[in-house]
């Protein structure tokens, strides 16, 4: 019988092996991207998919990128996720989003002014050819990976390259997302060991005075750790910080 199984991209095998061996996940991803024509990426997630439906998305979005400083200075700050039409499309169920398909300028006319300004700023930087992917909508969470393809001579060249490399890049993004969420969930949140300790004792039901005594710190220092944890977790209250830390999987429960 003829074997019709698709060939496995050796780049994916090496990528998965690198992650399993403890390599820097972002450096490993950049190596994959560099060999498949991706010049820059932006990865991000919401801890809960319900966050996508709420206003002020930027404040609840955990993200990392290797985009040019020009993009970060002009677009990647403020309310950039709130004005991102890609997030809106994925909120409606899109599994992928072509950054600037034929006829997209007509669609832009119906957008909010802030959304149009963001897209126009990216176009001014030459970010015409790119693809964003929804990665984990079925898990009750939300992750996405946007990839910018530079040095494309034409729309036809981009379509050809995406048809050839898109499936492998999609799998690499899913592998990366799963690895980061399950193996290194604190990577983007960045809680310190002491902040984790304080949150864990709150989960155990201890009062601040008891936690401070156990950790050998003052209650004022305890409150500083909790305040910092709230900022990192995009939480308004202590209880919300504890809940989000549990959802994120950053506590050794």
Same-domain pairing of 137 and 234: no
Model confidence band, residue 10 (pLDDT cutoffs 50, 70, 90): confident
Same-domain pairing of 70 and 111: yes
Residue 14 covered by a domain: no
Is the pLDDT at 134 greater than 50, yes or no? yes
Residue 149 covered by a domain: yes
State pTM to two decimals. Answer: 0.88
State percent of the chain over pLDDT 70. Answer: 96
Residue 7 covered by a domain: no
Q: What is the mean pLDDT of residues 128-144?
A: 83
Residue 65 covered by a domain: yes
Q: Which pLDDT value is given to residue 5?
A: 46
Same-domain pairing of 163 and 52: yes
Same-domain pairing of 104 and 31: yes
Number of compact structural domains in the chain: 2
* Pair of tokens at residue 49: 């998919």
Same-domain pairing of 82 and 203: no
**C-beta separation of 238 from 245 below 8 A:** no
Q: What is the mean pLDDT of residues 125-135?
A: 92
Q: Which pLDDT value is given to residue 51?
A: 86
CATH number at residue 219: 1.10.10.10
Residue 188 covered by a domain: no
Q: Which pLDDT value is given to residue 25?
A: 95
Same-domain pairing of 58 and 174: yes
Q: Which pLDDT value is given to residue 139?
A: 61
For the ranges 75-79, 147-151, 200-204, the lowest mean pLDDT is seen at 75-79
Return mean pLDDT, the chain. Answer: 90
Is the pLDDT at 138 greater than 70, yes or no? no
Same-domain pairing of 48 and 145: yes
Same-domain pairing of 156 and 31: yes
Q: 141 or 63, which is more confident?
A: 63
Same-domain pairing of 97 and 44: yes
Among 182, 208, 230, give the residue marking a domain's end: 182
Q: Which pLDDT value is given to residue 4?
A: 45
Per-residue pLDDT of 50-66, as tens digits, reads 888 888 888 889 999 99
Neighbours of 156 (CB within 10 A): 9
Same-domain pairing of 160 and 228: no
Same-domain pairing of 62 and 149: yes
Residue 253 covered by a domain: no
Is the pLDDT at 1 greater than 50, yes or no? no
Owning domain of residue 60: 21-182
Among 130, 162, 182, give the residue marking a domain's end: 182
Model confidence band, residue 130 (pLDDT cutoffs 50, 70, 90): very high
Among 158, 182, 206, give the residue marking a domain's end: 182
Q: Kindly calculate the radius of gyration of the chain based on its CA atoms and give it in whole angstroms.
A: 21
CATH number at residue 168: 3.30.450.80
Per-residue pLDDT of 11-57, as tens digits, reads 899 999 999 999 999 999 999 999 999 999 999 999 888 888 888 88
Q: What is the 3-state secondary structure (H, E, C) of the chain?
A: CCCCCCCCCHHHHHHHHHHHCCCCHHHHHHHHHHCCCEEEEEEEEECCHHHHHCCCHHHHCEEEECCCHHHHHHCCCCCCCCCCHHHHHHHCCCCEEECCCCCHHHHHCCCCHHHHHHHHHHHHCCCCCEEEEECCHHHCCEEEEEEEECCCCCHHHHHHHHHHHHHHHHHHHHHHHHHHHHCCCCCCCCCCHHHHHHHHHHHCCCCHHHHHHHHCCCHHHHHHHHHHHHHHCCCCCHHHHHHHHHHHCCCCC
Residue 8 covered by a domain: no
Residue 3 covered by a domain: no
Same-domain pairing of 220 and 132: no
């Amino acid at each position: 019988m003829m074997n019709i199984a698709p060939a496995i991209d050796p780049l994916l095998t090496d990528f998965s092996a690198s992650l399993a061996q403890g390599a820097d996940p972002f450096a490993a991803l950049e190596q994959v991207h560099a060999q498949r024509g991706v010049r820059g990426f932006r990865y991000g997630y919401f801890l809960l998919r319900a966050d996508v439906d709420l206003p002020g998305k930027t404040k609840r979005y955990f993200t990392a990128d290797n985009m040019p400083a020009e993009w970060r200075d002009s677009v990647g700050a403020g309310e950039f996720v709130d004005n991102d039409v890609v997030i809106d499309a994925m909120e409606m169920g899109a599994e992928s989003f072509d950054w600037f398909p034929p006829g997209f300028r007509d669609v832009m006319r119906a957008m909010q002014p802030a959304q149009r300004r963001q897209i126009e700023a990216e176009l001014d930087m030459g970010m015409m050819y790119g693809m964003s992917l929804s990665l984990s909508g079925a898990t009750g969470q939300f992750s996405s990976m946007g990839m910018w393809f530079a040095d494309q001579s034409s729309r036809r060249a981009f379509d050809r390259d995406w048809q050839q490399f898109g499936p492998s890049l999609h799998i690499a993004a899913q592998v990366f997302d799963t690895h980061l969420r399950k193996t290194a969930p604190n990577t983007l949140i960045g809680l310190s060991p002491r902040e984790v300790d304080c949150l864990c004792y709150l989960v155990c039901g201890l009062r601040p005075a008891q936690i401070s005594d156990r950790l050998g710190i003052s209650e004022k220092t305890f409150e500083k750790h909790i305040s910092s944890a709230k900022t990192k977790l995009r939480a308004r209250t202590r209880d919300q910080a504890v809940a989000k830390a549990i959802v994120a999987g950053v506590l050794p429960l």
